[in-house]
Structure 1
Amino acid sequence: MSEFIRITEQESNYHHLEDMSVAELLHNINKEDSIVPAAVAKAIPQIEPLVTIISDKMLMGGRLFYIGAGTSGRLGIVDASECPPTYGVPYGLVLGIIAGGEKAITSAVEFAEDSKEQGWADLQIHNVSEKDVVIGIAASGTTPYVIGALEECRKRNIVTGSISCNPNSPVSQAADFPIEVVVGPEFVTGSTRMKSGTAQKLVLNMISTSVMIQLGWVEDNRMVNMQLSNEKLVDRGVKMLMLRSGLSNYEQARDLLLKHGSVKKALTSLQS
């Protein structure tokens, strides 16, 4: 068996970064970032079946879990936390879990990712079950915290997915639906918050957005169930309601929107 090679840890293609001008640094970082969308496009055949099964599981009352460490864990938490305000879904439908707990969201927790047992223990707190889907996020594809969680899920017939940036990694082998977005060495050697993080963020956007559309939380191209949590969103909702309903009076549309709590409910009230 050949030794597993972590492309994400290979030496940068750029040298003597400290000697570059600011313009050169920005240009070269941007040049590397431009690689990411094409790499994500190659992974779409891997993403599609995972989105399909997440949608099916959620329609049957299941949830989506993201689990990761460091940057990968934080990206999962960001995606999960944005689903309720964006689409109006209940909190807890999409959950992000990070090695080291809440403290790790803003500060590094040493060695938190090294426990192969803790990931499963953290999932159990939320009573994860066969109804759910668990996606492990690990740029390197070797994080014990994530691999251990996926392996335990598999033993219990819980559907698993993974997002990594190395081909044929251990985390891919632990997942039913592995996604591999190979973006090459980082601009700063081993700094996987850069291209790898960008790739993971793009894939997470694709997964959650596609699932929410499949579940009916988007109509046409609009977030008709978004939470009205600030004036910007209220204004957006009013304009959306006016466009969809034909109402011409802004204040009337605003009152109707605030009364019913979402564009969709306000539109339904006008049709009844």
Structure 2
Amino acid sequence: MTAGGAAGRVRALGAFYAAAGRQSMTQQLTYRASSLLLMVGMLTEPVIYLVVWSAIARSQGGSVDGYTPGTLAAYYITWTLVRNMNVGYAPAGFEHRITTGRMSGRMLLPIHPIHYDLAGFGGAKIVWIAQWLPVAAVLVLLFHPTAHPTPAGVLVFLVSIWAAFVIRSLFLWLIGLVTFWTTRASALFELYLLFELLLSGRLVPLTLLPQWMRSAAGWFPFEWTFSFPINALIAPGPAPRLLAGLGVQALWIGVGALLVAVVWRRAVRRFTGVGA
């Protein structure tokens, strides 16, 4: 492919993302009440974590391994945005696409089907962020977070939450492709969620885990979808470390994209369409 042809494909893909993202935003605005309720429903998990760990911190003299109730509040309030940003197409949806014939239609289009999910969810997140802001303001008033953001940390946070979305979407898609071999990928998805819950910083900040679990987390992408974006904002550290974190996120995006490409080619060869 020539340089001009490659540039043309990039421009066409960019135009597709812009159009699909706008369409998704319009859909979210049309049904904004349901999307707001969905987002508010996601608050249950972090608020429970926040209340529990704040109580533990107070019972231990005001902090647990350096986390005070204020820093825990900052962690889990930021968590709520990161969690909304991490929402991608669930592997269970692949079963529905295959059995209804929707996957057959997607495979006939000139753009890889994953781009429809990335663009659609990406556009929806613009609306979700706007809806999150007043909710976050209420949580700030209730829990009084303590954070120390820096300009570099804020910039890295804004980039890393989108990178986290791409990483998680790629690996969810990879699990979803298992449905090309079996229509029951739910067990694998549940195992993925278990590892994510334990090793991402979703359940508890990684620094509160035993050393062996922190070491194990380094072999998986989960940390870079939750812990890194959160800490980039509330406890950023030096700029080189922030840039190194973005580099690791880019590496996991590359790994995820390569795995999806390889498994997709194999999955397509054994695909059997279903539906009208």
Say which structure, 1 or 2, has more relative contact order (CA 8 Å, 6+ apart).
2
Q: Which has the larger radius of gyration?
A: 1
- Which structure: greater strand fraction? 1
Report the TM-score, using the length of structure 1 for normalisation.
0.24
Report the TM-score, using the length of structure 2 for normalisation.
0.23
- Which structure: greater helix fraction? 2
